[in-house]
Every structure is written in structure tokens, then in C-alpha cells.
Structure 1
């Protein structure tokens, strides 16, 4: 009941805050039943952008008890207060800096999302008064952020946060408090300008104190919530003067070392992440934002200024982007690029002389750098160009040499056919859906022709100097971890294409026998398993052969594993390549909860072998009948007949498939069990 009332109030407050004066407020209040405490909470949020303080709430509650019809006077009093006027001024500044960013400077975090859903995550902000300026920016920009006071001492309590009320936790560790605990006699402010500082000892002490804070915070927060620790603001490198030694044995070096340690320490925690902010300072500038220029260096705060607001908005947007990465929201799996005026300047076939430096210097090098970075993350690259194939391949090698090679692309379509037809061929070869594909071409007409054939494909055109930034920083091209399979995905797809080309028109069984397929199994019961990260990646990236389409968060799958479930993971190798972990069955009790299979190994009977192995384990556990699940997603027709094809029958009453006999494993697959 309380949750329903809270949602009711939030919906009302959203509409109320969009009104500008108090005239409409009275009418709004007349149509809503709300007690005085709820009214005061809402009024403070509307006019001051914060929750009421204890004394202020008590004062206005007493006023309303004495004047039952005095709500309008309370609204006017709050609206005309100096704090409300300052709040309005901050709102106006946020609008101005946002408009400036759109007009003069592109956002640091772009998006390649195909939808316009921009729901802002609910964030719990833990920190001291240093977090107040971030909270103020969040409040006036209508970000749902709730600040909990927490210092960085060894005994400062961590607030109890209800996991269902927040999408993420943002922790600002206080540098000043940390250094006070690190230095002798608690001189955390000015120790770095004394000649007796032993920097090696200070660095180790600071790391120890930081680790104590991390362990305390992480032990108290729910593992179901992603936790982001904000990086320390690194002080100006020139603390010791223009000609002084600034890179080592300085506060600058110590703080950079703490950030290095923080990132490394959190890399081993599944639900905690390092959130960089110093690059935001570089991007937006911090001459009027970093308080180290006007206060002391160990304070480490961001001021409320135009640059400060942009940095704060960048922090919030980075949390939002990180959540999209963690949830694998609309990921890009394949980038298809044009060549002329796209991968190099101009049309090479029309050039009298090709000088590599002239056609690649500048934005083409940056574009290729971004493409190769995406390839490292496991995104496939392909070429689609209208050109004469032989000459273009020769020119490609002349222009790029060893910097970029044709082998970096899993598919190369260079001919005079419509680009939509060539893209159809690329999609078929890679088994990737159009909605997970990005097509980049300088020619708007080609973009139009392709999107007419594939409305869900994402595209880039226009100013080529923007492409690099989009590819590097859009959350849709990011991954949480680069697994071994991801790093070699291009080679694996090329091996699949070679395998398909080697398939004879007839005598398929002889071809399958000749492949030398070997299937190896692993049991994954917790996040400590070496193949856990790849298994989670496969679960959340597989669409076509995914019996339920369910997406799992890191915390969600760990909770399921702790409830008695486990993952049967299958890795496959053939005479063309070691394809790595390519199939999963999620097992618990007598249930096969979900089955996923990589599109790289369709049509080889691996799903049958996986099911046979899974049922064998269920039988060993004493079960004689088995349950499977299928949920149509609109994208998983490839496995629609998986259960009936293997002897399972539909139980309409229970909405599940039931079976009692294991299938025969294909004879061309060699099985290496657990």
C-alpha cells in the first residue's frame, strides 16, 4: 500500500513540478487527497529541489494544523524564499549550459540507440557535503537522485538502502578524510608541501585506508544493485612549479595511484565499478569547476559553474550509459562500412595518383582507430562498397598497408549491386539481425536505399569527424568485459564462412563427419568460474536461438545460481577453429530453464548434443521427467521447434514442455563430458 501511495505521489509531483506558478497549484491540490506531510514533501521538492529538513517540516506542519486551509500561503512563502530564487537560477543555468552543449559542444557520451527512451535511473548518492553540488545539478535537471550523508572514515555507517527503490548507487569517497587517516598527526590537508613526506609509505597507507572503505561499503550494500565509485579528482600536475618535478613523489602522483588502485580493486567485484570523471574535466574544461584552483588541492571538489554543471551532468549520464552496458541494451554487433569518402578521403578510382598520407591523415585515421577498437570489443566489421573489386582491394592495401588489413573484416562485398543486396549477404553470412547492425556511408542516398530494405538497421552519415566519437563512446558499442571469444570473433566468423563454403552440395553427413566436431562441457555454479563472464555475455547477446529470450543481470544470475541452479556450458572445436563457449543450458531441479546457442554453429546438431548431456545430468540427479520452456520473442523462430523436435510435448495447462527420454547424440560429434 505504501509503495502504491509513493508512486501516486511521484506521478503527481512530476506533473506539478512542470507548472510554473502557484495559480495552477491550488487547482492541482484540490484534485488530490494528500496529508499535510506529503504536501510539504512535494512543495519542498517543487520549489527548493530537495526534501524538507526536520525543523522546516515541523514548522510548516504546525502552520497547517493551525490554518487547515493555509496551503496556498505555504506555497507562496516557499516560492518567494531566497533558497527558491536561487534554485530557479540554478535551473536556468542548467538550461543554458545544456543548450550551449547542444549548440557548441557535442555531449561526451553519445548514443546509437534506435529508440528515444531516456528514462533516468534512480540513483542513491553516498558522500559528504562534496556531493551537494552534484545533487543540486541533479535536482534542477530532474534526475531522481537521493543523497545519503556518508564520510570515508573507518566507523562511518553505510546507509541501509532498499534495493527495490534504486537502479544504482553512486559513491563519492572523500579524499580529504582518507588522507587525514593516512598521514601522521592527521595532517591530511598540507602534508604534501612538507619536505619530510615519505611518499612510498603514504601511498601504501592510503591504499590500505581506501580498501577499508571499499570493503565496508560493499559489505553493507545489496549485491543486486550496481555500485559506482567516483574517481578522485586528480590535482593539477604543476604543483611543484613549471620546472619542478611533478610526476613522481607528489600529491598528483599519489592521487593518480589511488585511482589506479581503485580501478584495479573494483575489477574483481562483480557488481561494483570504477567511474572515471577526470576525462570529463578534460573534455568540458575545469578552470571554473575544479575547486583546487581556488581552495587547497586535497579538497577535491567540483564547483557550481557552467563547467561544473556539465561535469555533473556527465557523471549522471555516465551512470545511465553504464547501466545500458550492464543490461546489454540494443548492442551493436556488426559495423558495415563504405570505402570511398568513408574509410579514406575521396574516390580512389578517380585519383590520378594515390598518396596514402593525403587520403588517410586526419579523420580517416581516427575513424579506423575507432573501428579497430570496436573489433577488439568483439564487434564484427564488414565492407560494402560499390567499386571494381580487384582494383579496390589493391588500392586498399596500398592506402592502409599493415595499419588496417582486409583480414580485419569478416565479410567484404565490393561490386556494383545495390547495397541492400550486399548487406543481405553480409547478414546471412554472420547470422546477425539488422537491429544489431550499424551501416556507415557518406552518401545519404545509399543510406536511404538500405533503410528502405532494413528499417531496423542503424546508420551513420553526415560529418565523418563525428563517427569516431560515436563508435568509441556510445554505450551500444561498449562491453563489460572482453572475453576470449569476443576478442577473436572475426576469426571465428571467418572460420564459419570457410566451413560453410566447404560444405558439399550432397552427402551432408560425410561433410559433418569430416568437420571433426568436439564438444566439451563445463559446470558453472558461481561467478568464480573462469568461463562465467563469457556465459553471461552469451546469455545476454543471443537472440535467434534463445528459448525464452530472458536477459540476466550479473546479480540476477548469481542469485539464481545460489538458489540451486547451474549452467551447463558447451565449447566446440572443429578442423577450422576453436569456437569457444557457444551454448548454454540453465538447469535447476528437473527444469531446463533456458537454452541458448550461438548463431556461428547453427545446423551442426550441437543443440541436440547439449540437450542429451543436460538430460543425462538430470537423470543422474534422480529425475525421470523433464520440463522445458519456450517464450516467443519475435526474434527466436530458430528455436521454435526445439522442444517438439526432441520428443517433448506441450503441457497447455502449465504452459511448458514435458519430456521423459533423452535424444540420441549425433554420431559426428565427439563428446567430452564433465
Structure 2
């Protein structure tokens, strides 16, 4: 009955008071409604009780955080598990202290050495807990909520809150250690509940104004009736409406964050390129017509915020481009004068400043960076220009409207975020610019043949075998295979647990890198082999046309021939992978009624030097037919 009243309350009174700037959705294909397995003690049950009409289904299973606690299995329909570790249990285990004595652990810490020992033991225990939980629930993402950090300094307002024995410092360190342990698990993610608490307001929700720091939970009135016979009758702790509104806001925002993390992990509709206009987009007004406006006023406020957001997107591995209707030379001068090095033209993979239709320029940019329109966003203040681009390129996502939203959309949309940043991702702009220079060199070669030009690049390819999730290039392989569309022989997307299972059951994952005289392209291909079958091959678009895929095919076929006398390959038309439709034909495979087969490997191009075949980094395999 109480929950029924609460649900009714949310549908009427409380939700009218809820005013949340939830994560932006203009780039999304639609909401992702989740079946959530919630693991934790009674503290996290608050989330279940206040999740009515959220669209998500939560199944709460009580689970403590003691050693040897039984971890429940995920049900077949569960999409994600969310774990709330109990701080009191963690402290009890690492200090071997029972309740209620454990509630005084922070208060009794006397020295930095005591604090250091506590942190060392906590780190080991949290690693053990994370490994046990993610190992048991291996098929879906597992999100670990952070411990609630103290809402105020228990030692006093003028005492150093960063002293090594301070509860504030220690719980923050616990969260850092938990985050570190979680990031070592292939299906683990850190869910920062403190960020949400800070946003909503701790004073409305957190119980450390009344309960011990080790309880670290939500305000609760369960003990109110126990005090009913006191000489001074107790008053309700806090305002019920204020608390219920704040609790509802916290729950909705946490659920939204869980949905975002799941989408980031899935990488279904990623944005890989952001194209921006200049006038009234990268600065206020039309720069060519507003000499009277002070240069600082032109960019202070939202333009600086947008520029910073673009650089964070670039830091994640995204690409930036400029598409502006202007005279190029004076506009470049104005750009440099306005931004004064804060953001530079070198931060952009492509720059198109001319009077051509923007759709035409954007198609040129897409060709230059070798991306599909569906993976790009165009930002412009002019709705007419956005309409022209959308009409010509329907798959393109466009942003106009309220310019105050642009920064938040770029930074907070799940589509612009990545699960991790690899070395290749962080260098992507540099790589794309080098590719553009390489193509310019090819266009101006003129008098020499294509083969001679390729030989002049001094291409060198190396191969690496990934055998476990701890292998050096596992993360990059997983990223590349799940983000590549154009040269992807099956288009299959892999869950990390599924990928690990493939390796654990005898599958081979072979990756290769490619260098030339201009740049090191990093890891550019992934090939999956199982027995005598080539399961999947993907190739980065930045090395199209160089022949690296032929070397990959030669190596893959020879490895598969070690298991069978005839190699089978699979090719699936995804509607976006026309680039590789003739790949196996070029490798010498024959199309039969049963599929693609080959009894011998192709001859790789001689202009590519293969650097490490037969070294400890890669199992020996003969490449050249005349060896």
C-alpha cells in the first residue's frame, strides 16, 4: 500500500516538481529501455521504490559486500547489472572489525601509516570483489556505484579535509581504487553517484548528518517509530515533499546515466566527426561585418565552452572539420586573430571555406576523412543551411536551435562518447591529415605508376597475435572491430564477454599495424580465425588502397590452412560494406553453393615489407610462396 501511494505521489505531486536537465537526445536514435539487475543491500532499494514510470525494469537482489558473498547470476533478459557495494561491509572486512565497532574506524584512525595500511587492504579487497562479481556476471555490462563521500568535514570546518586520515580524503581514495579495479574488468564500468548527489543536493538525501559515516546511504525514517515515546516527541527529519522530489530526481538521473553508459558500451550509433560553421557558431556574429565588437566579447561565454567541448571530443578520438561560406584567406586570418591559439586550424582534420553549397563541401569532407554521413554531425546557426544539408544528405545529423545546448550535447551524448581512448584514437586527427597529404602526393605523382608510388611510401606491416584480454592490443582490436563499417566482412558487433569467449575457445585474433615514410598508422586491421575458417576481417579506412588487406588475407589464409586443407570465409552484405564485397575474390577464394573457399593463399604485394613474421610477437607462418 505504501509503495502504491508513493507511485501515485510521483505521478501527481512529486513529478510536477522534478526539473531535471537530463542528458541530451538530439543525436540519439531513441530511448534504450533496460532490464536492470540491481545488487546491494537495503540502501539501494530506494532506487526501486522511486523508479515508477521510468520505462526501465529493476530487479533488486539483496547482496552484501563481505568476503565469499554469493553473487547472484544474471537472468537471460537482464541488460545490465548495477552494484552498490556497502561501505560498512568493506571496512569490516579490511579491518576485521565487527559491527558496531566498525562504525568508528574513521574516527579512531591516528596516523598516516594507519591510513596507508587501510588503503592498501581496501585496494586488495575491492579488486577481489570486482573480479568475483564481473566474473560471475560476464555476459552483460556491470556498473559499480561509487561510495557516498562525506557531505561535510567531520573534523571541523577549518581542519584540512585532505589530511590522509580525513574521512573525506579516504572515501575519495576508496572510489579511486574502486574505479581502477573496475577498469581492469572487461565488462566493468564505474558509475559516479557522487556527481549526481552533488547535482541534486546532498542535504536533501544523504544520511551522514544523522547516521555514521560508514552507513553512507540515503536518509531513511525506518527508526522514527522507535523514538515515538521519547519525552520530547521527535519531529520528522526534513521535509517529506522536498525529500521525495530529490529522491525521484536522483533516481531518474541515475537511471539516465545507466542508460547512457550502456549505450556507450554498445557503440551503436557513434559520432566520429563534428563539422562546424564559423560565423555565429564558433564565435558571436559575422566576423567580417563586426569589427566594432571586442575580440574577447566575441568568444567569451558559450563560444569558449563550445571550443573546449570540441577539443574534448577530439581528445576522445573524434574528428573535427570546418564548413563555412566565406572568403578563405581573410577568414583564416580572422580565425587566428579571434582564437589566438586556444583552438587552431590544426585541430581540424578538414577545413572547407568557400562559397559552394555546404552540402557539397560536406560530401568532400566525408570523402577526405573516409566516413559515412550517419557517423557525422553538422552544427550551424542557420536553419536554412541545415535544411539544405539535410535534404542532400538525409543520414547526416544536424544541430541548430538553441546554441546554449551545443556544448552539453557534444560532451554528454552517449553517441559522442567512447568506452576508452586508445593510442590510435588520440592521434586520429594527425593520422587523417597525414593520409590527406599522402593522397595529395599520389595525385601529383603523375609520371610514375601506382605500383611505383606505393613502393615509394616504404610501407612496413607488422602482425600481432591476441590470445587473452590482457594482450597488448586487445582494447584496440575490440574498438576497431566494433566501430568499422565500410571494410567489415560481416558487420558483426561483439560483446566483450563474447569476444573473450571466442579467444578462450581456440579462436585467433590477428591484428596488424602499418607504417610508411610519412606516419605510423598504428593498428589498422583485425582478423578473426577459428580452425579452418576466416570468421571476420576489418580494415581501418585510413589505409584503403594501400594493399595492407592483401597481406592480412595472406597471413589469415595460411594460418587457417594449418588447421584444414580448405579455408572457408564468410561475407555478409550489410548495406554499408561495399568496399570489401570483392575482398575474398581478390584473395583467390571461389564462390560455391556452400560459401567462399580457398585451398591456397594469395601472394601479398611485394612493395610492403612484413617486419615481424616468425618473431616471438607472431607465430611463424610462411608468407611468400617461393620461400
Structure 2 residue aligned with 1:89: 9
Please state whether the residue corresponding to 2:398 is helix, strand or coil: strand
Q: What is the rounded CA distance, in whole Å, between the counterparts of 1:210 and 1:244 in structure 2?
A: 29
Q: Please report the RMSD computed on the Cα atoms of aligned residues, expressed in angstroms.
A: 2.0
Q: Output aligned runs, 1:28-427, within 5 Å.
A: 81-92=1-12, 95-97=15-17, 100-101=18-19, 105-107=20-22, 109-116=23-30, 118-162=31-75, 164-183=76-95, 186=99, 187-194=101-108, 196=110, 198-219=114-135, 221-248=136-163, 249-303=165-219, 305-353=244-292, 355-427=294-366
Deviations 1:106-139 (A, max 9, x none): 21x22343422x2312111111110111111234
Change (3 A) 1:207 1:628: closer
1:624 pairs with one of 554, 561, 565: 565
Deviation at 1:241, TM superposition (A): 2.8
Deviations 1:405-427 (A, max 9, x none): 11110100001111101101100
Residue 651 (structure 1) aligned with residue 592 (structure 2) = yes
Structure 2 residue aligned with 1:594: 536
Residue 525 (structure 1) aligned with residue 464 (structure 2) = no
Deviation at 1:636, TM superposition (A): 0.6
Deviations 1:532-568 (A, max 9, x none): 1111111011101111100111111111111211112
Change (3 A) 1:93 1:231: farther
1:634 pairs with one of 575, 579, 588: 575
Deviation at 1:82, TM superposition (A): 4.8
Deviations 1:584-636 (A, max 9, x none): 221111111111111111111221121112112223x1532111111111101
Deviations 1:75-131 (A, max 9, x none): xxxxxx45533332244356435xx43xxx421x22343422x23121111111101
Q: What is the rounded CA distance, in whole Å, between the counterparts of 2:327 and 2:418 in structure 1?
A: 36
Unaligned runs of 5+ in 1: 1-80
Structure with bigger RCO (C-alpha 8 Å, 6+ apart): 2
Q: Is the 8 A contact 1:169 1:228 kept in 2?
A: yes
Deviations 1:17-59 (A, max 9, x none): xxxxxxxxxxxxxxxxxxxxxxxxxxxxxxxxxxxxxxxxxxx
Q: What is the rounded CA distance, in whole Å, between the counterparts of 1:214 and 1:557 in structure 2?
A: 20
Q: What is the rounded CA distance, in whole Å, between the counterparts of 2:131 and 2:544 in structure 1?
A: 45
Normalised to the residue count of structure 1, the TM-score between the two structures is 0.83
Q: Is the 8 A contact 2:207 2:218 kept in 1?
A: yes
Please state whether the residue corresponding to 2:189 is helix, strand or coil: strand
Q: What is the rounded CA distance, in whole Å, between the counterparts of 2:131 and 2:537 in structure 1?
A: 36
Q: Is the 8 A contact 1:649 1:657 kept in 2?
A: yes
Deviation at 1:487, TM superposition (A): 0.6
Change (3 A) 1:212 1:368: same
Change (3 A) 1:194 1:346: same
Residue 431 (structure 1) aligned with residue 370 (structure 2) = yes
Q: What is the rounded CA distance, in whole Å, between the counterparts of 1:592 and 1:215 in structure 2?
A: 32
Q: What is the rounded CA distance, in whole Å, between the counterparts of 1:199 and 1:534 in structure 2?
A: 37
More helix by share: 1
Q: How many residues align?
A: 582
Change (3 A) 1:182 1:629: closer
Deviation at 1:289, TM superposition (A): 1.8
Change (3 A) 1:327 1:513: same
Change (3 A) 1:585 1:199: closer
1:496 pairs with one of 435, 438, 455: 435
Q: What is the rounded CA distance, in whole Å, between the counterparts of 1:495 and 1:664 in structure 2?
A: 28
Q: What is the rounded CA distance, in whole Å, between the counterparts of 1:148 and 1:536 in structure 2?
A: 31
Q: What is the rounded CA distance, in whole Å, between the counterparts of 1:386 and 1:481 in structure 2?
A: 36
Deviation at 1:430, TM superposition (A): 0.6
Q: Output aligned runs, 1:430-449, within 5 Å.
A: 430-449=369-388
Deviation at 1:286, TM superposition (A): 2.9
Q: What is the rounded CA distance, in whole Å, between the counterparts of 2:94 and 2:428 in structure 1?
A: 46
Q: What is the rounded CA distance, in whole Å, between the counterparts of 1:509 and 1:191 in structure 2?
A: 72
Q: Is the 8 A contact 2:85 2:144 kept in 1?
A: yes
Deviation at 1:159, TM superposition (A): 2.1
Change (3 A) 1:135 1:631: same
Q: What is the rounded CA distance, in whole Å, between the counterparts of 1:474 and 1:463 in structure 2?
A: 16
Unaligned runs of 5+ in 2: 220-242, 619-627
Q: Is the 8 A contact 1:384 1:419 kept in 2?
A: yes
Structure 1 residue aligned with 2:491: 549
Deviation at 1:402, TM superposition (A): 2.2
Q: What is the rounded CA distance, in whole Å, between the counterparts of 2:98 and 2:560 in structure 1?
A: 63
Which stretch shows the higher mean deviation, 582-591 or 433-442? 582-591
Q: Is the 8 A contact 1:122 1:166 kept in 2?
A: yes
